[in-house]
Structures are given as structure tokens and as C-alpha cells.
């Protein structure tokens, strides 16, 4: 099979909603010539198929699924690499078809009819009716309640798969054969009832995933050649002008060029309060526009938008097995055949060698067959993982896979970058020093005048401080930028020189007094910008300094407190910034205040990596950075978390976990989700294994009936699904 000829498509598989169903579908499709890989998704009820179109058609693949009882009247979805909007439209179409099907079918008639017939069978047995009538009612119950089970059971048997459907049908038919008509009906009636309840429970997780797809706008209004043109979102090209009307979803990531409005970004970033968006601000695809129209310039194609990346990452995360899932799969592969072999021995050995009654031991074997179904165990982890991942996205936290969610749940050491993570990443004016008695406002005004046309971060910080102070800058400024050193300006007959100490050393203006004052200011951790001007007829002289600092973000104290509350025992800060700057920023956040245990500055990227490796010797480490210059340290840690909006695309690609809103208080929430998911998974696995092993023992001893085994099997499935869905909700650590 030529690798170049392979295609990958997503095919609906409605009704494939349990692990054994997925196993049967996988084996069936892999049996088709030309199919090379199959990835089932029981939450979304679909399979991703890699195949050679020269050897097998998509129609044949869909027919094979329908032959198993897994299909949909909807056509297969677009290719797996289709745009986010195409995937969203396909998901919405499936949701509409699902609603129509449920409306047409109404009540689950097989459950209702099966329940009525089972009740009559029980009445007939207790009333000692004619044996033939009772047998007929029992058989009717099996056929009515099991009509949705029989076809997949036959298909599974034909493909050599002993799945849940086969085991249940075998138990029911076996009970009929030995004359246990009430028990035979109970098996499939209770199974059908539990499956219906299970579907409704799983439907919640499915709707949560589909609701994310609904955030994608299928089309948008683009301004082309002076006209409004409605086009599919995937047809919008970078640089095109897009009109977003009031109440519409933003179709692509873009920059506002005209208009202002409040935009609800809660679905993307988890931020509950709408944000005001003005000219020059960035807007994200999937956010909801408020009451005024916006014109935006498309920054990137729809498939590369923040929302598109989120959806792609979430789909990839669902396809990747966590370590708990891998363990459960290995356990189930051993457990199921062992119990089935035990059932065969229980049915045959006592009657053959110890004079036991065939009916009695056959009944015990049927109980073991029911208990052999590993569904509750296998489904216990993926439901929790999908619920937790989806719930995290709702909080503005993107976790790339269940593996990273598990790691997060066990982290006790956190390493955090300073610049751009703990701090805003942009310098701000902290203080203006006067060295000759000049008013600080006058020093700031002249400094802003020299930087009036600058795009450098230092210049922007000085200009912002001047605007906040209400200072008015003169017109007609002749400015000369001095790259890497500062700026020179002339206005009103006055020359202004502004820049680093290096510039003033080169100009011969940096004497011992200036040096001492500069060193004293730098000792506070600030960046010192010297300001000089001439007072005609006097010479050019340094008359003051502007001190710049990178301010801590809001929520640093909440972050540190939240980490401690979630079991983190060691928190360190690593920075490439000067040690004096790091000391100044973090001095009030020591371990006695629940803050940092240690911090270091002047670190090169390789030194950060080495420190992370040292920390890993004590246990799993989470590294938090801005996703750009911290990439080596992020990769060296057990799992890495990046601040998202500082560079959405790169952060989403580079990190294992990304915050879609630069709010440090989201980090403890990520820990809560990880810890909660871990506790739910462990509880589910322990519960499912305990129930299975308990009923294996009871069944072998003849202390469990068929209906008890069905209730235990399906009841445990419902219990672990319901418990797993709790991961959709965020809550306190012990929730």
C-alpha cells in the first residue's frame, strides 16, 4: 500500500458508544482491504479511518459500520485536515440529525415493550402458568428488549470479537435454554434500560464537546472591492477586511481597524467579563461581538486561529491514551479472557467430575459471562479525561492530552519564569529622579519629548507615563534615534539627550557622581535611563533619570496561595533578568508568606534547563513560561505551561498546557482540575475492579443471580460515567 495514496476521513458511527463497540468497529474496518488505521471516538461517536481510496471506497467503510449497527443518515464528514469551521458544521449537522432521530423515535420502545413482556413473564412464573406460555413470554422479552443488541452481537461474532453484546445475548439465550425465563428477560431488559440511561449520561459529555464546535462561524462578511460579500470562513485570506456585525461571532483572529465594541471572550479564554475592543486591539475567533459593528483585518486563516488550534488540540487529546487508560486496557485484555475461561470451566468441570447439576453450574457460568464484560472499567477513564479536558477549555485552559492532565495532578514542584509570566513583560516608569532640583514632571516631559516618535518599549513606557500625568508635549520636535543607546532631540532651541549610561560615557558626560547615582538606582533592580539637556548658554548636562521596572501581574499572590492550597510544596522562580531586578520584584514574596522558596536571576537558557533537571530528581516538575524564550526549559520539565495571549499560536504549539487568558489565577484552577480528574479516575478504576472481582467470586460460589450481575455491570458503568462527568465542573480541591 502506497503511503502517498492514503487518505484520512472522519466517518460518523452513531450508536458506537461503548469500548466493546469501538473494538468491534476497529477490527471490522481493519479487515477491509485498503484500511491501514482506525481511531474510534466513543464520545463523539465517530471513527477516523486511514485508507487507500484505490482499494476501498468510503461508501464501503460506511456500509461496514452500518452493518454493525453503527451509522448515520448523515454523509461522512470533511477530511480530517479540514478547517475548524468545516468540522464545526459537520458536528452541527450530526447534532441536528441526532435531535431529529430522537424526536421521531420518541420513547425507547424496545425498553418499554421489553419491560412489559418481562413483567408478564414474571407474573406467569409466579402464577405457575402453562410452561409453553411462560417460555414464549420469556423469548418475547429477549427479542423485544434485545433487538438493538442482537445485530451487533451477530456482527461481533462473525468478526471473532466477544464483546459486551455477545456476552449479554449468550447469557440470555443460555438462561432460556435452562428454563430461567425471568432471568433471561431480566438480562436484556435491564441491559437495554441501563444502556439508555448510559446514553443520556454520555450525551452530556458529547454535547459539551459539540458546543465547542458551535463556536465556529460557518461564514462571514468580507469587504471586497467596496462590496459586502458573504463567504465561507475558510475562504477568508490574511489581510482581508472582515465586518463583524452586532451579535455575530468573530470568524477569524484579527485586529480591529474600525469601530469599537464590547466582546465576550468567555468561551475562548474563560474571562467572564466582556472586554472593550478598540482600534488596534486583537480579537479571537469564536468570541461574541456586542452591540456595535467591528471591522477587523484577518491575521491568520481560520484553521490557524486560536479556536481552530484549540479544537485540533482537543481532538488530538481525545485520541491519545492516558497512562491510566493504557493500564485499564492491559488489565481488560487479561481479565476478560480469564473470566470467560473460568466460566467455561465452571460450566463443565463440576458436572463432569464432581456430579454437579448441569443447570446449576451452567447458570453460574452465565453469571460469570455477564461479569466478564469490562465496559465499566474501560469507560471509567476516557469519560473523565474528556470531561476534564472540556471543562478546562471552558475555563480558558487548554491541556494537550490526558497524559499531561495526569502529570499535572501529581506535580509537587513548580518552576516559573519571571519576565512575561510573573511580570507584564513591558517596562513601566517606576520613578523619576531629579539630580539638580529640577521638577520631576519637567524631566519626564523632556524625556517624553525626546521619545515622542519612538516605537521602542522604553520610549512607549515614558510616553505612557507622560500621558497618564497629563503632560503636554511640544510640536515641531527634531528627533534622532540612537539604536541600542537612546535618542537625541531638539525643540525650542534646546537639545535633549536621553539613554543608557553607555551613551553618556561615549558622550563624555558620565562623571563619578553620575556613576555613583546610577549604581545606587540600579541596585534597586530598576533600568536607569539618564536625561540630559542644555540650559542656554549652559552646556549639555545630566539633570535626572527615569527609572523603569517590569511590574508584577495582578494575581501573583493569589497564584502562590492557590499553588500551596493544591499541594505544591516547592515553588521557584528562574529568570534571565538581572539578579537585582529579580530580587526587587520578588523580595516580598518569600516562603514565609506562602511565596517562592528560591529564585535566581542572570540565568542563560541552558542554565534554566539544568535547574529544571535538578528539580526533577525530587519529583514531577511543572515549568511555567511565556512559550517563546522559555521553550528549552518547558521541554525539559515533565509538563510545560505557557501564557497564551502573549503569542497564541506559538504558545499553543510549544506548550503541553496553555492559558488562553494571561491571568495567573487560572493556574491553580488547572491544578484543581488535574487533581480532581486524578482522584475521579483512581476512584472509578478501584470501584470498577472491586465490583468485577466481587461478582466473579459471588458468581463462582453461586451467590449471585443473572439480574444481579447485569445490574452490577451496567450499574457500575453508570456510576463511573456519572462520577467522570463531575470533572466538567470546576470546584475546590476536595470537590
The pTM of the full predicted model, rounded to 2 decimals, is 0.69
Looking at the domain assignment, is residue 304 inside a domain? yes
Of 51-60, 179-188, 566-575, the least confident: 179-188
More confident call, 598 vs 102: 598
**Domain boundary pick from 534, 551, 568:** 551
Q: Express each pLDDT in 325-354 by its tens digit.
A: 777 777 777 877 888 888 889 889 999 888
Three-class secondary structure of residue 80 per DSSP: coil
Owner of C-alpha cell 470501584:
687
In sequence order, the β-bridge partners of residue 532 are 497, 542
Confidence of residue 647 (pLDDT cuts 50, 70, 90): very low
d(CA 332, CA 320): 18
Whether the CA torsion 203, 83, 10, 673 is positive or negative: it is negative
Q: Determine the pLDDT at residue 702.
A: 80
**Same-domain check for residues 595 and 613:** yes
CA 535 to chain centre: 61
Name which of 618, 625, 617, 581 is nearest 599 in CA terms. Answer: 581
Owner of C-alpha cell 470531561:
387
Q: Determine the pLDDT at residue 129.
A: 81
Task: Sheet containing 478-482: give its strands across.
Answer: 423-434, 540-552, 527-534, 494-499, 486-491, 478-482
**Same-domain check for residues 638 and 618:** yes
**Same-domain check for residues 35 and 49:** yes
Q: Determine the pLDDT at residue 104.
A: 44
CATH for 590: 3.40.50.1000
Confirm if 333 and 326 have CB atoms less than 8 A apart: no
d(CA 205, CA 38): 22
Question: What is the domain range of residue 432?
Answer: 426-551
Grid cell digits, residue 414:
513548580
Cα–Cα separations (whole angstroms), residue 656 to 137, 212, 385, 583, 585: 57, 20, 15, 29, 27
| Residue 534: burial class (beta carbons within 10 Å; 0-12, 13-18, 19+) | middle
Q: Determine the pLDDT at residue 103.
A: 45
d(CA 663, CA 250): 22
Looking at the domain assignment, is residue 365 inside a domain? no
What is the percentage of the chain residues whose pLDDT exceeds 90?
10
Name which of 3, 57, 15 is nearest 32 in CA terms. Answer: 57
In sequence order, the β-bridge partners of residue 9 are 49, 79
Confirm if 31 and 48 have CB atoms less than 8 A apart: no
CATH for 239: 2.70.150.10
**Same-domain check for residues 519 and 564:** no
Q: Express each pLDDT in 446-483 by its tens digit.
A: 888 888 877 777 888 888 888 888 887 777 678 888 87
Of 129-138, 173-182, 198-207, the least confident: 198-207
Confirm if 300 and 252 have CB atoms less than 8 A apart: yes
Query: Active-site residue 663, yes or no?
Result: no
**Same-domain check for residues 432 and 419:** no
Please determine, for residue 101, whether its predicted confidence score (pLDDT) is greater than 60. Answer: no
* Concatenated DSSP letters of 144-190: HHTHHHHHHHHHHHHTT---HHHHHHHHHHHHHHTT-HHHHHHHHHH
Please determine, for residue 644, whether its predicted confidence score (pLDDT) is greater than 80. Answer: no
Grid cell digits, residue 58:
468510503
**Domain boundary pick from 81, 103, 131:** 81
Confirm if 677 and 661 have CB atoms less than 8 A apart: no
d(CA 302, CA 673): 29
**Same-domain check for residues 477 and 514:** yes
Number of domains in the chain: 4
| Residue 331: burial class (beta carbons within 10 Å; 0-12, 13-18, 19+) | middle
**Same-domain check for residues 547 and 564:** no
Phi, psi of 547 (to 5 degrees): -100, 125
Mean pLDDT of 262-269: 77
Alpha helices, DSSP H, located in 627-732:
631-636, 648-654, 666-701, 706-725
Confirm if 218 and 85 have CB atoms less than 8 A apart: yes
**Same-domain check for residues 513 and 584:** no
**Domain boundary pick from 524, 551, 578:** 551
Q: In the chain, what's the furthest Cα-to-Cα distance? A: 126
Looking at the domain assignment, is residue 498 inside a domain? yes
Mean pLDDT of 286-314: 83
Under 8 Å CB-to-CB from 148, ≥6 apart: which residues? Answer: 69, 110, 192
**Same-domain check for residues 531 and 442:** yes
Please determine, for residue 727, whether its predicted confidence score (pLDDT) is greater than 70. Answer: yes
Active-site residue identified among 253, 417, 626, 662: 417
Q: Express each pLDDT in 692-706 by its tens digit.
A: 888 888 887 888 888
CA 58 to chain centre: 30
What is the percentage of the chain residues whose pLDDT exceeds 70?
86
**Same-domain check for residues 579 and 534:** no
Grid cell digits, residue 595:
511565596
Q: What is the mean pLDDT of the chain?
A: 80
Q: Determine the pLDDT at residue 591.
A: 63
Q: DSSP character for 645?
A: T
Q: Determine the pLDDT at residue 650.
A: 55
Please determine, for residue 599, whether its predicted confidence score (pLDDT) is greater than 70. Answer: yes
Confidence of residue 85 (pLDDT cuts 50, 70, 90): very low
Looking at the domain assignment, is residue 682 inside a domain? no
Amino acid at each position: 500500500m502506497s503511503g502517498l495514496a492514503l487518505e484520512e476521513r472522519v466517518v460518523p458511527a452513531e450508536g458506537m458508544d461503548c469500548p466493546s463497540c469501538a473494538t468491534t468497529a476497529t477490527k471490522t474496518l481493519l479487515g477491509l482491504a485498503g484500511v491501514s488505521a482506525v481511531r474510534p471516538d466513543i464520545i463523539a461517536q465517530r471513527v477516523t479511518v486511514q485508507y487507500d481510496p484505490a482499494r476501498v471506497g468510503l461508501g464501503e467503510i460506511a456500509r461496514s459500520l452500518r452493518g454493525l449497527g453503527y451509522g448515520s443518515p448523515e454523509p461522512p464528514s470533511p477530511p480530517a485536515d479540514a478547517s475548524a469551521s468545516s468540522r464545526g458544521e459537520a458536528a452541527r449537522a450530526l447534532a441536528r440529525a441526532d435531535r431529529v432521530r430522537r424526536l421521531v423515535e420518541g420513547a425507547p420502545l424496545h425498553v418499554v415493550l421489553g419491560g412489559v413482556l418481562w413483567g408478564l413473564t414474571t407474573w406467569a412464573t409466579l402464577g405457575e402458568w402453562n410452561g409453553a406460555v411462560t417460555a414464549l413470554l420469556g423469548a418475547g422479552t429477549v427479542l423485544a428488549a434485545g433487538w438493538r443488541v442482537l445485530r451487533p452481537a451477530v456482527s461481533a461474532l462473525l468478526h471473532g470479537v466477544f464483546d459486551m453484546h455477545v456476552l449479554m445475548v449468550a447469557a440470555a439465550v443460555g438462561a432460556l435454554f435452562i428454563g430461567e425465563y425471568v432471568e433471561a428477560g431480566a438480562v436484556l431488559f435491564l441491559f437495554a434500560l441501563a444502556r439508555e440511561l448510559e446514553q443520556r449520561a454520555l450525551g452530556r459529555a458529547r454535547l459539551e464537546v459539540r458546543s465547542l464546535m458551535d463556536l465556529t462561524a460557518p461564514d462571514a462578511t468580507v469587504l471586497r472591492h467596496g462590496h459586502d460579500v458573504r463567504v465561507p470562513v475558510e475562504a477568508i485570506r490574511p489581510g482581508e477586511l472582515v465586518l463583524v456585525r452586532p451579535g455575530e461571532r468573530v470568524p477569524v483572529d484579527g485586529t480591529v481597524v474600525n469601530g469599537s465594541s464590547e466582546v465576550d471572550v468567555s468561551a475562548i479564554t474563560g474571562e467572564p467579563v466582556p472586554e472593550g475592543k478598540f482600534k488596534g486591539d486583537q480579537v479571537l475567533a469564536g468570541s461574541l461581538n456586542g452591540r456595535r459593528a467591528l471591522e477587523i483585518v484577518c491575521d491568520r486563516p481560520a484553521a490557524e486561529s486560536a479556536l481552530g488550534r484549540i479544537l485540533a488540540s482537543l481532538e488530538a487529546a481525545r485520541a491519545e491514551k492516558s497512562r491510566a487508560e493504557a493500564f485499564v486496557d492491559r488489565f481488560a485484555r487479561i481479565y476478560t479472557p480469564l473470566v470467560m475461561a473460568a466460566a467455561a470451566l465452571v460450566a463443565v468441570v463440576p458436572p463432569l467430575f464432581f456430579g454437579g447439576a448441569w443447570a446449576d453450574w451452567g447458570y453460574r457460568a452465565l453469571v460469570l459471562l455477564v461479569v466478564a464484560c469490562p465496559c465499566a472499567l474501560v469507560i471509567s477513564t476516557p469519560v473523565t479525561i474528556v470531561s476534564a479536558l472540556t471543562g478546562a477549555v471552558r475555563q480558558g485552559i487548554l491541556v494537550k492530552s490526558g497524559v499531561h492532565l495526569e502529570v499535572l495532578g501529581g506535580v509537587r514542584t513548580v518552576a516559573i519564569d519571571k519576565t512575561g509570566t510573573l511580570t507584564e513583560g513591558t517596562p513601566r516608569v517606576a520613578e523619576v529622579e531629579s539630580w539638580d532640583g529640577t521638577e520631576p514632571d519637567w524631566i519626564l516631559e523632556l524625556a517624553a519629548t525626546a521619545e515622542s516618535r519612538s516605537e521602542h518599549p522604553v520610549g512607549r513606557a515614558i510616553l505612557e507615563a507622560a500621558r497618564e500625568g497629563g503632560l503636554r508635549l511640544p510640536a515641531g520636535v527634531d528627533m534622532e534615534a540612537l539604536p541600542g543607546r537612546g535618542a537625541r532631540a531638539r525643540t525650542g532651541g534646546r537639545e535633549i539627550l536621553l539613554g543608557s549610561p553607555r551613551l553618556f560615557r561615549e558622550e563624555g558626560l558620565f562623571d563619578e557622581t553620575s556613576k555613583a547615582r546610577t549604581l545606587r538606582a540600579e541596585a534597586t533592580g530598576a533600568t536607569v535611563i539618564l536625561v540630559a539637556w542644555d540650559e542656554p548658554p549652559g552646556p549639555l548636562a545630566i539633570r535626572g533619570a527615569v527609572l523603569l521596572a517590569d511590574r508584577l501581574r495582578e494575581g501573583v499572590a493569589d497564584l502562590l496561595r492557590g499553588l500551596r492550597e493544591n499541594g505544591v510544596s516547592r515553588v521557584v522562580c528562574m529568570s534571565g533578568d538581572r539578579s537585582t531586578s529579580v530580587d526587587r520584584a520578588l523580595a516580598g514574596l518569600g516562603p514565609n508568606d506562602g511565596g517562592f522558596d528560591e529564585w535566581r536571576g542572570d540565568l542563560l537558557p541552558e542554565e534554566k534547563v539544568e535547574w529544571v533537571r535538578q528539580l526533577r530528581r525530587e519529583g514531577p516538575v511543572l515549568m511555567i513560561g511565556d512559550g517563546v524564550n522559555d521553550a528549552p526549559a518547558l521541554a525539559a520539565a515533565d509538563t510545560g505551561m505557557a501564557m497564551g495571549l502573549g503569542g497564541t499560536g506559538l504558545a499553543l504549539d510549544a506548550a503541553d498546557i496553555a492559558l488562553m487568558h494571561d491571568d495567573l489565577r487560572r493556574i491553580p484552577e488547572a491544578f484543581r482540575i488535574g487533581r480532581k480528574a486524578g482522584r475521579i479516575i483512581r476512584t472509578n478504576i478501584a470501584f470498577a475492579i472491586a465490583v468485577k472481582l466481587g461478582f466473579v467470586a459471588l458468581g463462582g460460589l453461586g451467590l449471585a443471580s443473572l439480574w444481579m450481575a447485569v445490574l452490577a455491570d451496567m450499574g457500575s458503568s453508570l456510576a463511573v460515567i456519572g462520577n467522570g462527568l463531575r470533572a466538567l465542573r470546576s470546584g475546590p480541591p476536595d470537590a
